[in-house]
């Protein structure tokens, strides 16, 4: 980690060791090419003790346990091939290339998410740690030469850029880690200590879509009403949805948290959507015995409101309970949290209002925790969402069940009262499944 004084330093010799490693050149800044061939290739990134001792970046790319340049799969060794042999090589086998761009040091990294820069973290106004134009052009930074400052970003530029979010956790410390890296400037930021101590085991994070409203004019009676508009996902809040908790004692009382203006030291605040927390950040009222790994935003009610679909788990065995009838240690549930409705709307502007007349904020403490409903039993960790039949009013959830050791499908009928109308087990011999990836393999959809 870097100290607060690091932000004002421009010399490489004055910054922290972590940032020196992040900026240090790798042994080979050119792209490394290799050929797949007939046999499996295992690409790994390993630490190089020699580089670490020299103060350079510690990591190097290896192919089947050795440097790519020394591997028989290296493309460079085929330079002696005849033209027809080279053509055959290109036609029969895949050519791949990799390049190690940078090394980022954080404490105990857990989950890594790349999110749009225009969302969470967009209120950060601190200057970048270094003014470089890209991760590769670091020569002048390393040598201490002056570089021209980066031009100011307009909203269009910001919408196309991304920010890296890294969560971390520890068995021994009573706090979580939540870092963000601006991939354009290399500036790293962190949530404040209050947030870190409240979210003790942060898992996956997600952007938060901005709820849209639309005013409807009725010419027959000259009246106006305001309704929710479907979100296109383009407008995001400067906020982060964080899933929290794990089966480790002391970390098993997790929840779903919204961190507004994350890593902004002046305006950052957090709120728990699954319970009421005390000053220490512990949930004292609500669903406190569950932990969460994934949560997604979705219009569950069909009226345009962006609610939350999530999977949660608990391990009662650590609390003195025994296994269930199926011999399963833990328990999982597929749940949804309903976004609260505004008290009313301003008749002239359509602005949503709270009961006290102020602008409605669904993350305000008076509007939390959100109402939680159980959709089905079983899903406990990661899941994917798909609309397998766009013609009907259902969506499908493909869920990995860690405790039940299976992969399952759940079809949810959307509406004012969402419910599971169909379920089936896809695979019950896969073992303790933690995650699955939904992909179109035949290219027909």
pTM for this entry: 0.78
- What pLDDT, on a 0 to 100 scale, did the predictor assign at position 385? 96
The SS3 call for residue 203 is strand
Average pLDDT value for residue range 379-401: 94
pLDDT at 16 exceeding the cut of 90: no
Two tokens, residue 394: 């259902």
What share of the chain in percent tops pLDDT 70? Answer: 75
Q: What angle do CA 418, 419, 423 make, to 5 degrees?
A: 140
- What pLDDT, on a 0 to 100 scale, did the predictor assign at position 59? 79
Average pLDDT value for residue range 158-164: 79
Is the Cβ–Cβ distance between 359 and 404 less than 8 Å? no
Q: What angle do CA 108, 112, 114 make, to 5 degrees?
A: 150
Closest CA to 330 of 305, 345, 350, 312: 312
DSSP string, 270-290: EEESSEEE-TTS-EEEES-S-
- What pLDDT, on a 0 to 100 scale, did the predictor assign at position 97? 76
- What pLDDT, on a 0 to 100 scale, did the predictor assign at position 325? 56
- What pLDDT, on a 0 to 100 scale, did the predictor assign at position 322? 47
Two tokens, residue 4: 């607060």
Lowest mean pLDDT among 74-88, 247-261, 297-311: 74-88
pLDDT at 382 exceeding the cut of 80: yes
pLDDT digit string, tens, across residues 309-332: 999 999 875 454 445 555 567 899
Is the Cβ–Cβ distance between 168 and 112 less than 8 Å? no
pLDDT at 132 exceeding the cut of 60: no
DSSP string, 71-113: STTBGGGGGG--HHHHHHHHHHS-EEEE--------SSEEEEE
The C-alpha atoms of residue 134 and residue 62 are separated, in whole angstroms, by 24
- What pLDDT, on a 0 to 100 scale, did the predictor assign at position 137? 38
pLDDT digit string, tens, across residues 226-272: 677 776 667 899 999 999 999 888 888 899 999 999 999 889 999 99
Query: Distance between alpha carbon 307 and the CA centroid of its chain, in Å?
Result: 18
Two tokens, residue 189: 């930021």
- What pLDDT, on a 0 to 100 scale, did the predictor assign at position 201? 95
Is the Cβ–Cβ distance between 367 and 361 less than 8 Å? yes
Beta strands in 38-187 (DSSP E): 43-47, 59-63, 66-67, 95-98, 109-116, 162-168, 177-182
The C-alpha atoms of residue 229 and residue 251 are separated, in whole angstroms, by 38
The C-alpha atoms of residue 234 and residue 209 are separated, in whole angstroms, by 8
pLDDT digit string, tens, across residues 357-370: 999 999 998 999 99
The C-alpha atoms of residue 423 and residue 11 are separated, in whole angstroms, by 60
The C-alpha atoms of residue 245 and residue 435 are separated, in whole angstroms, by 17
Q: Would you mind telling me the total number of residues written for the chain in this entry?
A: 445
pLDDT digit string, tens, across residues 193-221: 999 999 999 999 999 999 988 877 666 66
Q: What angle do CA 172, 175, 181 make, to 5 degrees?
A: 115
Lowest mean pLDDT among 33-42, 153-162, 329-338, 414-423: 153-162
- What pLDDT, on a 0 to 100 scale, did the predictor assign at position 29? 46
């Amino acid at each position: 980690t870097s100290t607060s004084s690091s932000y004002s330093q421009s010399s490489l010799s004055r910054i922290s060791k972590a940032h020196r490693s992040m900026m240090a050149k790798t042994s080979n800044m050119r792209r490394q090419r290799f050929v797949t061939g007939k046999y499996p290739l295992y690409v790994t990134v390993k630490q190089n003790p020699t580089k670490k001792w020299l103060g350079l970046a510690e990591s190097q790319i290896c192919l089947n346990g050795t440097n790519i340049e020394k591997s028989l799969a290296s493309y460079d060794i085929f330079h002696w091939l005849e033209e027809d042999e080279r053509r055959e090589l290109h036609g029969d086998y895949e050519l791949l290339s990799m390049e190690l761009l940078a090394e980022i040091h954080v404490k105990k990294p857990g989950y890594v998410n790349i999110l749009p820069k225009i969302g969470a973290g967009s209120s950060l106004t601190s200057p970048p740690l270094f003014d470089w134009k890209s991760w590769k052009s670091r020569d002048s930074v390393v040598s201490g030469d002056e570089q021209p400052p980066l031009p100011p970003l307009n909203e269009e530029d910001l919408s196309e850029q991304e920010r890296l979010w890294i969560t971390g956790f520890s068995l021994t410390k009573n706090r979580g880690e939540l870092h963000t890296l601006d991939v354009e400037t290399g500036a790293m930021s962190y949530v404040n200590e209050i947030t870190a101590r409240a979210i003790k085991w942060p898992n996956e994070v997600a952007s938060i879509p901005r709820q849209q409203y639309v005013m409807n004019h009725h010419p027959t009676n000259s009246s106006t009403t305001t309704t929710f508009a479907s979100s296109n996902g383009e407008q995001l809040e400067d906020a982060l949805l964080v899933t929290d908790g794990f089966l480790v004692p002391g970390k098993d009382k997790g929840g779903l948290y919204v961190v507004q203006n994350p890593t902004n030291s002046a305006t950052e605040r957090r709120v728990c959507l699954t319970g009421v927390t005390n000053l220490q950040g512990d949930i004292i009222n609500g669903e406190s015995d569950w932990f969460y790994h994934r949560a997604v935003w979705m219009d569950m009610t069909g009226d345009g409101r962006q609610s939350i679909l999530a999977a949660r788990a608990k391990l009662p065995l650590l609390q003195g309970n025994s296994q269930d009838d199926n011999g399963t240690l833990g328990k999982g549930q597929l749940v949804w949290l309903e976004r609260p409705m505004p008290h009313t709307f301003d008749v002239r502007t359509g602005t949503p209002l709270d009961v006290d007349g102020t602008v409605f904020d669904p993350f305000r403490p008076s509007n939390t925790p959100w109402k939680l409903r159980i959709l089905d039993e079983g899903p406990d960790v990661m899941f994917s969402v798909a609309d397998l039949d766009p013609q009907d009013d259902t969506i499908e959830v493909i869920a990995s069940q860690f405790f039940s050791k299976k992969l399952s499908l759940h079809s949810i009928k959307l509406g004012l009262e969402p419910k599971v109308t169909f379920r089936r087990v896809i695979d019950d011999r896969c073992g303790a499944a933690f995650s699955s990836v939904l992909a179109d393999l035949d290219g027909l959809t």
